[in-house]
Structure 1
Amino acid sequence: MEKVLHLISGGDVGGAKTHVLTLVKELQKNLAVKIICFIEGPFAQEAREMGIDIMVLPQHRRYDLKVVDTLVNIIKTEGFTLIHSHGARANFITRFIRKKISIPCVTTIHSDFMLDFKGNLYKHIIYTNLNIFALKKFDYFIAVSKSFKDMLVSRGFPDNRIFIVYNGMDFQEDISYKSRDEFLNERGLAHLRDKRLIGILARLHPVKGHEIFIRAAADVLTDNKDIHFLITGDAGEMPSLDSQIKQLGIDKNIHFIGFIDNPYDFLNAIDINVLTSYSESFPYVLLEGARLEKPTIASAVGGIPMLIDDGVNGYLFEAGDYKELSGKLKIMIDDEEKSKALGRALYKKASENFSLKNLAMDHIKIYNEMLKNKKVRNTDENNR
């Protein structure tokens, strides 16, 4: 039986965490699969609660390579036949494992690796280049949208070794979340329970385009004084956003609400789900919003247009164009029934086309192809 080892830092949050945990849980139904991560924390704990075989190998620092020999020993002892890596830290470690083993290695490109550390010059210079150094040595790549495959090819990665797999989720699984009133109460926003709420659930990072969300909010508020906008995270994480809000004079209508453990708590509380990213793969927050039939507006980047058909099951806008965003927000605000219909249509498309079962089966096909190619290469080498 084939055995697949997934490597990931373990400090992951958001889409990458959701992707790896739900994928591995589903893969376990058909394969022997294990996760090894390098940080003890919520990721590892959640994996244990889901019944996933996970092991933590702590590192003293981000690029501590003492774990390499331990990993190689585990791979050989437990008989893993393939390594699947996720993220810069795991990619870097896999780069050195490859020198000591001969099994295929694949990495999933969850984001544009040239933008991952944007906003921190030191990390951008060091970590981005180390990730590129590691990526060049992988056998295969999984891109989570066609645009990401095109991006990889444009940067010199071989077209014939890149697979495309769109994210998926289990639309049949029971989900739990707090009521709108309970969520707003605990965040000190009980006074907003009867207001229209527009929200963005994304890490506070320049690539997510929060400044566009804020400028669009200011535009909406010129005609709709009673709308409120919720941003996950704390204002101190990106002080420039707080300054922008104050300069626009809209601080009474925009609320930073802190870290969110359960995305559905937040998504259930808002009326319109917005994503303003300059770069995206195929974001889980849109699938999670679709799960709750949330009316959605997102920038037309990455794989997002594969899910959202503009004006049919949501709205798209050109990344960076706050005027287009505010215009489409106003349409949704003015016609609540149409907005709800868009949310229902989004659920229908998402549930029919982007299921967790499809995600897992696509990965199994890729694994089988990788292993078949390895056998062919080994046979050719033995016949020389």
Structure 2
Amino acid sequence: MKVLHLISGGDTGGAKTHIISLMRQLNKLIDAKVICFIEDTFYQEAVGAGINIEVFQQKKRTDMSVISRLITEINREGYDIIHCHGARANFIAMFLKYRIKKPMITTIHSDYKLDFKDNFYKRIVYTPINSIALKRFDYYIAISDTFKKMLVDRGFKEEKIFTVYNGIDLESKIHYIGKEDFLNRYDINGEDKIIVGIIARIDLVKDHETFIKAAYKVLQNREDIIFLIAGTGNDEKRIKSLVKEMDIENHVYFLGFVDDQYSFFNAIDINVLTSISESFPYVILEGSRLKKMTISTNVGGISRLIKDGYNGYLIDVGDSDALAEKLDYLMENKDMIKTMGENLLNSVEKNFSSRNMAEEHCKIYDKIIQHRR
């Protein structure tokens, strides 16, 4: 079986981790290759991971010269399935589909109607284009059952949608610097303090405002806690202003983009995610490798992993009071932080390895090929 994966190449965060984790394991089971359209850190990390990847460089998004190159590649190599990831790849696939006779599948990594929520131009232009492109695919992989339901509710055929939860590579070695060295990088004194962190792009869908409001409430009664925010984004200026207005700048630190995420996870005690929409985020899986318990909004498929009170806590979207209450409780019961972190890693090892994820993909590919035959 030969499968060609198409992805932008400018991807960061969960999409990047997903592809690299998946391809590492897929290549042990089938013949799989990635083609991306931007040469960036994604390409470099994929090469470093030993993944079969090539760049078909686009001068800009509307550069369709890659179509003929892809047709030549697909026909020459005899791929059985074309598998896309993300808006750019979906757009290209829309033009590619009727010029090749191969089944095409795309993974729904996020709510595509919210992908460009913070950028007016992209929201007006790219969201409708991606919505149209998605309708052209033969099959879909949803990252969670809730995302499958979302697609069905929007008119996609249920029998064409598969569900595969994200998995993480538990075999590869992770690299990180010591906690003190990481904090010194940002001139932060974390001595005798519990460190709460959130690592996500700073845009509306990640709802950092709830994180900040909870931090404010906790800091009214204690100062033995600090909050780290890793990431950048369109909502950054507003969130920084909010921190300043609340006069908690001495306890909330903006780190900017952090490219060594495991150093971040190693430095924090509690991992937080306040998103209003997620599929099955890698920030929880990555944090679990260093036994970091998570407090997350109950969105997407997160409840499949986080069991409230066992390996973390779930809160409602926008509920800063609940987040503050959980943090206050953990500050008074610090042994629970370690215990739940250990439990989280155990849960991931049992159910959410990248090996399991790759095997599920192979089953789907096989079903598609058998159906076509």
TM-score (normalised: structure 1): 0.95
Aligned with 1:324: secondary structure?
helix
Of 287, 292, 300, the match for 1:302: 300
Counterpart in the other structure of 2:67: 68
Residues 1:289 and 2:299 aligned together: no
1:231-264 Cα deviation digits (max 9, x unpaired): 0125886211011111111111110012111211
1:37-73 Cα deviation digits (max 9, x unpaired): 0001111111111111111011111132111111111
Counterpart in the other structure of 1:52: 51
Counterpart in the other structure of 2:274: 276
Counterpart in the other structure of 1:101: 100
Counterpart in the other structure of 1:128: 127
Residues 1:137 and 2:136 aligned together: yes
Counterpart in the other structure of 1:327: 325
Counterpart in the other structure of 1:381: none
2:364 is aligned with what amino acid? I
Q: Cα distance, 1:295 vs. partner?
A: 2.0
Of 212, 218, 221, the match for 2:219: 221
Q: Could you say if the C-alpha distance between residues 30 and 235 of structure 1 is closer, same or farther in structure 2, counting changes exceeding 3 Å?
A: closer
Please list, as runs of the form range in 1=range in 2, the aligned pairs for 1:25-40 lying within 5 A after superposition.
Answer: 25-40=24-39
Rounded Cα–Cα distance in structure 1 between residues aligned with 2:46 and 2:342: 31
Counterpart in the other structure of 2:338: 340
Rounded Cα–Cα distance in structure 1 between residues aligned with 2:141 and 2:278: 15
The answer (yes or no) to whether the contact 1:145–1:281 under 8 Å persists in 2 is: yes
Rounded Cα–Cα distance in structure 2 between residues aligned with 1:5 and 1:30: 14
Q: Cα distance, 1:187 vs. partner?
A: 2.1
Aligned length: 373
1:219 is aligned with what amino acid? K
2:281 is aligned with what amino acid? P
1:117-173 Cα deviation digits (max 9, x unpaired): 001111101000010110000000000000000000000000000000000112233
Rounded Cα–Cα distance in structure 2 between residues aligned with 1:159 and 1:250: 48
Counterpart in the other structure of 2:361: 363
1:303-339 Cα deviation digits (max 9, x unpaired): 1000001111110000111111111111111111012
Structure 2 unaligned runs (5+)? none
Counterpart in the other structure of 1:11: 10
1:238-294 Cα deviation digits (max 9, x unpaired): 211011111111111110012111211100000110000000000011011111111
Rounded Cα–Cα distance in structure 2 between residues aligned with 1:150 and 1:89: 24
Q: Could you say if the C-alpha distance between residues 300 and 354 of structure 1 is closer, same or farther in structure 2, counting changes exceeding 3 Å?
A: same
Of 235, 242, 251, the match for 1:244: 242
The answer (yes or no) to whether the contact 1:63–1:89 under 8 Å persists in 2 is: no
1:267 is aligned with what amino acid? F
Rounded Cα–Cα distance in structure 2 between residues aligned with 1:333 and 1:126: 46
1:91 is aligned with what amino acid? N
The alignment's C-alpha RMSD in Å is 1.1
Aligned with 1:91: secondary structure?
helix
1:192-212 Cα deviation digits (max 9, x unpaired): 244211000111111001010
The answer (yes or no) to whether the contact 1:204–1:237 under 8 Å persists in 2 is: yes
Rounded Cα–Cα distance in structure 1 between residues aligned with 2:322 and 2:190: 26
1:199 is aligned with what amino acid? G
1:76 is aligned with what amino acid? N
Of 241, 246, 260, the match for 2:258: 260
The answer (yes or no) to whether the contact 1:38–1:57 under 8 Å persists in 2 is: yes
Aligned with 1:348: secondary structure?
helix
Aligned with 1:98: secondary structure?
helix
Counterpart in the other structure of 1:382: none
Aligned with 1:311: secondary structure?
coil
TM-score (normalised: structure 2): 0.98
Rounded Cα–Cα distance in structure 2 between residues aligned with 1:194 and 1:32: 51
Residues 1:172 and 2:177 aligned together: no
The answer (yes or no) to whether the contact 2:169–2:354 under 8 Å persists in 1 is: yes
Identity %: 50
The answer (yes or no) to whether the contact 1:235–1:241 under 8 Å persists in 2 is: no
1:108 is aligned with what amino acid? T
Aligned with 1:19: secondary structure?
helix
The answer (yes or no) to whether the contact 2:118–2:234 under 8 Å persists in 1 is: no
The answer (yes or no) to whether the contact 1:180–1:193 under 8 Å persists in 2 is: no
Counterpart in the other structure of 1:21: 20
1:321-360 Cα deviation digits (max 9, x unpaired): 1111111111111111012111111111111111111100
Q: Cα distance, 1:188 vs. partner?
A: 2.1
Q: Could you say if the C-alpha distance between residues 131 and 181 of structure 1 is closer, same or farther in structure 2, counting changes exceeding 3 Å?
A: same
